[in-house]
Amino acid sequence: MGGTKKFKRLIPRDAAERLLGMRRLTFIRNAGGPMSFSRSLLLFLFLAMGLTAPALAQSDPEALRPLINELAKGKYDDTQKQIGALVATGDPAVAPALEALGDGDLYFRKSDGMVFIASKAGKGYALTDPLTLESAGEAGRRDVKKIKVNNKLRRVLRSALGSLTLMAPDPAVRKQAAEAVFKSRDPDSIEALDAALAAETDDSVRTVMEQARAAAVLNSDLGDEDKLAAVEVLASMGTRQAMSLLLSVQSSLEGPVRDATAAAVTKIEKSIAAWDAAQNIWYGLSLGSVLLLAAIGLAITFGVMGVINMAHGEMVMIGAYVTFVVQEMIRTSMPGLFDYSLFIALPLAFLVSGAIGVAIERGVIRWLYGRPLETLLATWGISLILQQAVRSLFGPTNREVGNPDWMSGAFEVGQMTITYNRMWIIVFAMLVFAGLMLVLKKTPFGLYTRAVTQNRRMAASMGIRTPWVDALTFGLGSGIAGIAGVALSQIDNVSPNLGQGYIIDSFMVVVFGGVGNLWGTLVGAMTLGVVNKFLEPYAGAVLGKILVLVFIILFIQKRPRGLFALKGRAVEA
């Protein structure tokens, strides 16, 4: 961190040279694969450091090499000291090595102790010189050894790189750097922050920097006046992070500052409580949408057709495995398409699960209409067969289904954290629901389905081929379960047991919402989701689930046909 004080100095004479070097580096690192974007971003920022930070030593790689090679020696504590020594040189040429160290890509050669940046190549590693960034040949798997990092070292690296990159040209990087300083609360970085603040033009970055400065001030031995101002900045942040920071310093403070801290904490607590309720509703909706996705196919096969389909969960599971197969094929043949893998998987999952559904209906269920007990046993048997088939085909272990970039991560709304995968699943569930409604209400096939379920004999006499409508309706329900599987593969295990976890919940939703009514399924799923999430913080996950079950049992006693009961002659028949 010694280098931080020397910002805003001369542009080093060899900037152009370094630029060249950096380009080369970006090129080399780009060969590394999917991480390359963020890496080149980081490199870009090291380039920026090259322009703003001083060049204490002309980038003579050989002068730094002994220092770099030192990294390979000793234990974590020694490595930590060595990182400090490298940062103290203030020479940006050490940055790629430090970055690689944080990523776990820094290795040393066992034979001579030389340190290299290594990336996997075939059975061994491709080596890159950490200073000149030129290729340095290859090494076998057992010839080089990784320089180990642990969480402590990663924290050290994060804060070191953070305070070094406060002046980067890219505002996003500066923001990230300020956030890193906020977390490290290093009093030494106040000076660097002041310098950065003076030069800062972007308002949002400025705010984060001020917050970071406040965090560092509270940790320093500055006077009460500075600290009071810092407390005010943090209080206006209102986040959990700020509260955590205030709480941690509270005990070490005295007098008016301590009182101000306590007042700030109470204020933040109050605002967070309100957001918590909103967050809970969001969680409830999210759980509800998962329930809806799992249950909506069943709402057709069980709700509309009256078939107790115990193999419904397996249709969901098959949909998830289709996603896996699609991603696997994309990974091996067209890696560029990975972000679209889910869109490719959706129609395929619908077709595969739907086809299996039709086959089950034609092969087994149609012989058992009107005999619910036999249907239950037969479909349960089918579910076991499907599970074991998948187990023999794909193995019993979990399969990795990746989240595309747009499904990973989270964003903040006020004090709420909303994860992208949950948000898209809510949207997706609503789309599926709307689509299904359209099919049932606006298409001829939907008309036939409704006709057959409402009055089979009359529909048959009107010339509708009821057996085929049955098969296709069952196929539709199964297909919908399949596309639910695509969505659920994003949040759950893809294993042969995937479906079992959802079958009980699905029946619960359909029965609670009212058999035969899709709106009931929607309202039922959302109600159960929200109720569950409001019970969970108080009762715990286990008891919460039990309470929901008890609630449904009592509710069914009162209203045997669920929330939205169908009325009319069709029901009595």
Name the minimum Å distance from CB 522 to other proteins. 18
Look up residue 496 and give its amino acid: P
Name the minimum Å distance from CB 362 to other proteins. 27
Residue nearer to other proteins on the CB measure, 222 or 491? 491
Look up residue 278 and give its amino acid: A
Per-residue x/- track, 91-120, other proteins (CB under 8 A): -------------x----------------
Per-residue x/- track, 532-561, other proteins (CB under 8 A): -x--xx--xxx--x----------------
Name the minimum Å distance from CB 262 to other proteins. 12
Q: Which position among 20, 172, 247, 385 is part of the footprint of other proteins (CB under 8 A)? A: 247
Integer Cα distance of 300 and 516 in angstroms: 7
As a whole number of angstroms, the longest Cα–Cα distance in the chain is 94
Query: Which one-letter DSSP state was computed for residue 145?
Result: E
Integer Cα distance of 358 and 283 in angstroms: 35
270 makes contact with other proteins (CB under 8 A): no
Name the minimum Å distance from CB 361 to other proteins. 26
Nearest Cα neighbor of 475 from 357, 351, 367 is 357
Nearest Cα neighbor of 283 from 405, 430, 416, 429 is 416
271 makes contact with other proteins (CB under 8 A): no
Look up residue 382 and give its amino acid: I
Integer Cα distance of 163 and 81 in angstroms: 17
Q: Which position among 130, 297, 477, 496 is part of the footprint of other proteins (CB under 8 A)? A: 496
Q: Which position among 44, 338, 420, 445 is part of the footprint of other proteins (CB under 8 A)? A: 420
Residue nearer to other proteins on the CB measure, 369 or 380? 380
H-assigned helices in 340-419: 341-363, 372-394
Site for other proteins in 59-78 (CB under 8 A): 76
Residue nearer to other proteins on the CB measure, 419 or 455? 419
Per the CB < 8 A criterion, the answer to whether 182 and 215 are in contact is yes
Name the minimum Å distance from CB 249 to other proteins. 8
Give the list of residues 6+ apart from residue 476 with CB closer than 8 angstroms, or none: 300, 354, 357, 439, 449
415 makes contact with other proteins (CB under 8 A): no
Residue nearer to other proteins on the CB measure, 423 or 566? 423
135 makes contact with other proteins (CB under 8 A): no
Residue nearer to other proteins on the CB measure, 402 or 467? 402
347 makes contact with other proteins (CB under 8 A): no
Site for other proteins in 150-209 (CB under 8 A): 150-152, 154-155, 158, 183
Q: Which position among 119, 207, 220, 280 is part of the footprint of other proteins (CB under 8 A)? A: 280
Q: Tell me how crowded residue 320 is: count the other CB atoms within 10 A of its CB.
A: 27
Q: Tell me how crowded residue 120 is: count the other CB atoms within 10 A of its CB.
A: 12
Q: What angle is formed at CA 279 by the lines to CA 274 and CA 285, rounded to 5 degrees? A: 135
Per-residue x/- track, 359-398, other proteins (CB under 8 A): ----------------------------xx--x---xxxx
Name the minimum Å distance from CB 555 to other proteins. 21
Residue nearer to other proteins on the CB measure, 176 or 453? 176
Nearest Cα neighbor of 456 from 278, 556, 306 is 306
Query: Which one-letter DSSP state was computed for residue 141?
Result: T
Could you tell me how far CA 492 lies from the centroid of its own chain? 12
Instruction: Determine the length of the chain.
Output: 573
Name the minimum Å distance from CB 502 to other proteins. 9
Nearest Cα neighbor of 108 from 62, 149, 73 is 73
Q: In 198-271, at which residue ranges do the beta strands (DSSP E only) sit? A: none
Q: How far apart are the first and last CA of the chain?
A: 81
The tally of CA atoms less than 13 A away on the side-chain side of residue 201 is 4
DSSP-based three-state secondary structure for 135: strand
36 makes contact with other proteins (CB under 8 A): no
Q: Which position among 248, 278, 431, 441 is part of the footprint of other proteins (CB under 8 A)? A: 248
Residues that bind other proteins (CB under 8 A): 76, 104, 146, 148, 150-152, 154-155, 158, 183, 240-241, 243-250, 279-280, 283, 286-287, 290, 387-388, 391, 395-400, 402-403, 408-410, 417, 419-422, 491-497, 500-501, 533, 536-537, 540-542, 545
